[in-house]
Structure 1
């Protein structure tokens, strides 16, 4: 028997258990997130059926579960809120198609490395803000009072207070009971896998017997039986959705990178994020024809997949197939689910998503720029449509990078500590006369940091007989700005009868030094090129500089 077939047979029991577990949890989650997105819950079920199964075959990660996630759901709501209800399905399918095209493009150009420019502080502010929107958005379903669809959710609380007379105590009781049952069942070992499903069943039975006036899923959307017929997205709607679709594609990919990097493959390696991008893109493109909402990597569902014992990508394929089987056989039963019960589960998920005090405290304590970026991103999620908040976050991340790298770009002094080692010290403000000063550039060298680097170079004013060795190892992509700065400093140093020596210079910089006149100002004999041995060029430059200092003396 071939080895591949043997491995498949060996892992199948574990994958069946994991697939069944994530399917049971995924059904109420998919319906709940669809309500968060402001769409018919059936589209959430279609998504967790087809996107999870197709994504299992196409993404790079073996464990990544592709479905309608909580953050994507809030973002979709922001896009669809102004759309007339009759046009929501057609708009949704076009949005799914465009997001897939953008994600596929990101994967093809291997844009995975670009996600590092979204800082953790910005991502924390964004996810926390999105989680708060989930909680606020479900207050209406929890209390039985219907909030306006287009209302800004931060105003949900005062709106509820103004309409306190319309709140249903029975709805609140059902929602709180559902939350309590979920928390209790999670602590029971044999019930943890059904901790989301069983409370909903109990709530449905309770409402049917005692509280028939409480709103059900069937009151807001019809859940047909069977799987969907293919549709062709209306591309005439595409122009108005390009900007939000790009934002949602970025959101999905940033979340996916975080999941992939924290969920190693069975052999301990990290999956190719660019293949994840392409796989998600193709998945969304195909699923847009199957009446699906935009899908992306789900952190909680992926973590559950691993915790349930999944060994291969077959677990996600089984999960999608099982959800599809339930939809095909018993789809209309979902209409009996009480809205307060789903709201309770979503509020619990939102609170757990916001529960990251240690991470927030670390950002506030150790990163001043990150602290303000986190706060600004969080505020933007509450006052702007969520799909535009990610643009705010990306711009803030780039600003943090530029400001931080500019602030950290400086020149340090290297003091010999014996054995070819050096101790770093702040560079002196002025060159000490008659002495050798060894310097090194610390931080990134590019056009925005050159001014900070030049200001931190010791002034040669008043110095006599000083020799400066400046190490430039690793400074390859310097540009003409660096060459002109070195030329200016060399002329300043030489004007006082001192000497500038460059060490660890990449040979590829020679033509630039010559073309800008820097090599002539410094002198070719004072330029020592880097070798594969770190420090060899620096030590050679120091040996050449020591006799010059003695001559000056």
Structure 2
């Protein structure tokens, strides 16, 4: 106990600084994503307070930041679009409660492995489609032209092009100025962490001083000075929200698994995703009492938390507390923020979310079935309510699995028997210290079998000086999931003082490893490409 207390004291300054950084950056994000969701920005701020602080205590990951995320916000909008405006708040809080109940249920039945049945190609198509919806949805606030609520967003954008004469040039100028300032501040090292907040403040001051006529946050909602008292959601609204709430729960959990897998714990291990499920579920159940929008793990916010120097989960606790204090002390000042400024910020975030050329190229080049699943999922996000697109993605993923996966897959150990021949054995649970272990994959490598393959990899714990030779002959169309799995295993092997060597790597697979950024992580591992004459 004294050692734990000492570590807590040692990490306190770093966690406090990281918490303050993510709080200040998260305020405009939380308000903006609430606007994307079509709700009062204060509900996003409440989520950045309560969900972030409570989630910090309950999730398995030390760094996972729980808040209203961008893709979740677009999905919430599609759920609430048909709801009368007066009923939106009550519907939102019930939605948060139901999402939490489903997430908790997934965690209790340990359904973390089921997320492996949503392919990376489907998820990529969904994220790109959702990001485009963010951009299209904010064109009205950016230009001052009121777009039609609901319907297919691309048609609303076409309507804007037909009414360019009705665009408010002052609103457009404020939005573009905000976007330009964000990009400029990111190039200044000392201003990088405040690159989202400072442009909003500057735009607000300019609009206020010059008396520019643009829409403000106060025109759509009031931001009270204070935190809400607990209120039980109206459960009579629950039956009509069960299907969309399940979709939001699945979406939030899949996104959180991606965050957890990309953010190892301080000791290099991956946190228990089922504990993340349970933690997010309980968090949403509790925060539904405090007027919060549904929350999930956010990749960008978690990455910022780590880069800001967070050492323990206390950083997210501090972040939530700081946002809460700012609401108490200066909540009504948020009403002065120009909507075009927030729109410019959100459009930039959406554009950056869409910009993933290497991932799209890898899916297109290395997975024939994946490329069409990605396209189909993207198109579904544009013509259907977003919460139903995730169901389409799940069904597409399962269909691909049933068509292409004929048997399971696992890692086997290759034992030399002489004359260049090897015998397959069950892979050991742990790598033998100071010895060479040759591994290969038995069965089909497919996104739904990757978790089974990864579970059968020998643990490098306590095996200092071990060498792992991983033979990848025949793995040509493995997809980006295999690249990420190899990257994670390389991190674990290196962390325990051992070495990973990839052998018999097809040139196409080698190119995929390089394009996805896995090669630098694997480091000095030896890649032996299969020569054409050997095939």
Shift, 1:421, TM fit: 2.1
Q: For 1:149 and 1:35, locate their aligned partners in 2 and report how far apart those are by CA, in whole Å.
A: 13
- 2:144 and 2:215 in contact (8 A); partners too: yes
- 2:377 and 2:393 in contact (8 A); partners too: yes
Alignment of 1:37-436 (within 5 A): 37-406=37-406, 419=419, 421=421
Q: State the Cα deviation string for residues 432-456 of structure 1 (Å, max 9, x = none).
A: xxxxxxxxxx747xxxxxxxxxxxx
Q: For 2:183 and 2:253, locate their aligned partners in 1 and report how far apart those are by CA, in whole Å.
A: 31
Q: For 1:418 and 1:6, locate their aligned partners in 2 and report how far apart those are by CA, in whole Å.
A: 56
Q: For 2:171 and 2:293, locate their aligned partners in 1 and report how far apart those are by CA, in whole Å.
A: 28
Shift, 1:418, TM fit: 5.8
SS of the counterpart of 1:64? coil
1:438 is matched with which residue?
A: none
Shift, 1:407, TM fit: 10
Aligned pair in 2 of structure 1 residues 420, 181: CA closer, same or farther (>3 Å)? closer
- 2:90 and 2:233 in contact (8 A); partners too: yes
- 1:141 and 1:343 in contact (8 A); partners too: yes
Q: For 2:38 and 2:86, locate their aligned partners in 1 and report how far apart those are by CA, in whole Å.
A: 12
- 2:27 and 2:323 in contact (8 A); partners too: yes
Q: State the Cα deviation string for residues 233-260 of structure 1 (Å, max 9, x = none).
A: 1111000000000000000000000000
TM-score under structure 2 normalisation? Answer: 0.77
Alignment of 1:489-528 (within 5 A): none
Shift, 1:166, TM fit: 1.6
Aligned pair in 2 of structure 1 residues 407, 367: CA closer, same or farther (>3 Å)? farther
SS of the counterpart of 2:405? helix
Shift, 1:420, TM fit: 7.5
- 1:139 and 1:156 in contact (8 A); partners too: no
Q: For 1:224 and 1:134, locate their aligned partners in 2 and report how far apart those are by CA, in whole Å.
A: 26
- 1:122 and 1:370 in contact (8 A); partners too: yes
Q: State the Cα deviation string for residues 480-526 of structure 1 (Å, max 9, x = none).
A: xxxxxxxxxxxxxxxxxxxxxxxxxxxxxxxxxxxxxxxxxxxxxxx
SS of the counterpart of 1:381? helix
Q: For 1:230 and 1:39, locate their aligned partners in 2 and report how far apart those are by CA, in whole Å.
A: 19
Shift, 1:212, TM fit: 2.7
Q: State the Cα deviation string for residues 314-346 of structure 1 (Å, max 9, x = none).
A: 000000000000001100000000000000010
- 1:97 and 1:288 in contact (8 A); partners too: yes
- 2:95 and 2:245 in contact (8 A); partners too: yes
- 2:96 and 2:293 in contact (8 A); partners too: yes
Unaligned residue ranges in structure 2 (runs of 5+): 410-415, 425-441, 445-535
Shift, 1:13, TM fit: 0.3
Unaligned residue ranges in structure 1 (runs of 5+): 410-415, 425-441, 445-553
Q: For 1:417 and 1:125, locate their aligned partners in 2 and report how far apart those are by CA, in whole Å.
A: 47
Q: For 1:234 and 1:250, locate their aligned partners in 2 and report how far apart those are by CA, in whole Å.
A: 23
Q: For 1:407 and 1:184, locate their aligned partners in 2 and report how far apart those are by CA, in whole Å.
A: 52
Equivalent residue pairs, number = 423
TM-score under structure 1 normalisation? Answer: 0.74
Q: Which runs of 4+ in 1 moved over 6 A?
A: none
SS of the counterpart of 2:107? helix
1:28 is matched with which residue?
A: 28
Q: For 2:304 and 2:326, locate their aligned partners in 1 and report how far apart those are by CA, in whole Å.
A: 20
CA RMSD, 1 decimal? 2.0
Q: State the Cα deviation string for residues 88-146 of structure 1 (Å, max 9, x = none).
A: 00000000000000000000000000000000000000000000000000000000011
